[in-house]
Amino acid sequence: MNGRALRDAAGQTGRGVRAEAIRTGGRRSFLVYGALPAGVVLPLVITFGIAAVAERIAHLNSDEISVNAVSSSNSVYWIITFTVVVGALTAAYAQATSMRAVARDVDRHLYPRAWTSAASRWIFYGLLTAAASAILVAVVMSVLPAAFPSVYSEVALFSSAGVRFVVTVPVYAFFACGLGAGLAALIGHPAGTLAALLFWVFVMEDAIIFVPDGAKIQAYMPFLNGTWGTGQDLAISPPWGTDGALVYFAAVSTALFVVGTLAVGLRRRRG
């Protein structure tokens, strides 16, 4: 790609990012009515709800019930699970709906290079989800030890685990959105894409352990690697360290994105 073509592609991608920002700012925005409650409100409600129950149990004078202190490395699990996955689902939905009916013709006109359309959605939703996850990690790790000291006194934002979460969870979130956009580009159908992504994250990657040599196969599951790469405690043993697990997830996400955009280009040439 020469300099002029590169500038044209960058211009298309930049316009796409701005267009996506306008698209999600309407009164019926799926970002406001879907992604915000599921990706921001829900993980906070679950995190602080569990913390409140655990704190109450810790104050009971009972020899039968006890609560172990929670470490920093287990304090933001629900943000990693919900915020990141909802971001990926949102990017996937935005990409898939742009490839249907009238929106498909508009997309072809606005983005002569097929990959720039998907790239603009990856960048927009990836950066948005990364920023949201960083803020949520900071809020949760600051509030938990202050509000629930009996159970979460060991949680510290400026611990090694806390600093790692602030850096790695946004990275994981950004590439998860790229994976979502790439999967949508490959499948080309909104409902099918969301079903495939949900099945992949919440069923396949956990259930794969039940097949022969499942533990070895599970070590290569991308979302589990991404979660482990953030520093979250998981019972998996990938053949690389935590940094390598995050790089592996980024590589898988990028590869799927490339395959998806190639599929979009092929469908355009055929139709």
Query: pTM for this one?
Result: 0.92
For 223-245, give one letter per residue: b (16+ CB within 10 A) or e. bbbbbbbbbbebebebeeebeeb
Q: What angle do CA 35, 37, 41 make, to 5 degrees?
A: 125
The tokens describing 180, both together, are 């979502």
Structure tokens at 39: 């990706």
- Element at 74 (helix H, strand E): none
Query: pLDDT digit string (tens) for 26-60?
Result: 656 767 778 888 999 999 999 999 999 999 988 87
pLDDT values of the chain reduced to their tens digit, one per residue, 271 residues? 567 767 777 777 777 788 788 777 665 676 777 888 899 999 999 999 999 999 998 887 666 666 788 899 999 999 999 999 999 999 999 899 887 765 565 666 566 677 788 899 999 999 999 999 999 999 999 999 999 999 999 999 999 999 999 999 999 999 999 999 999 999 988 999 999 999 999 999 999 999 998 889 999 999 999 999 999 988 887 889 999 999 999 999 999 999 999 998 887 777 6
How many Cβ atoms from other residues are within 10 Å of residue 169's Cβ? 27
CA distance 185 to 18: 20
Query: Using one digit for the tens of pLDDT, what is the confidence trace for 124-136?
Result: 999 999 999 999 9
- Domain ranges for the chain, please list them: 13-270
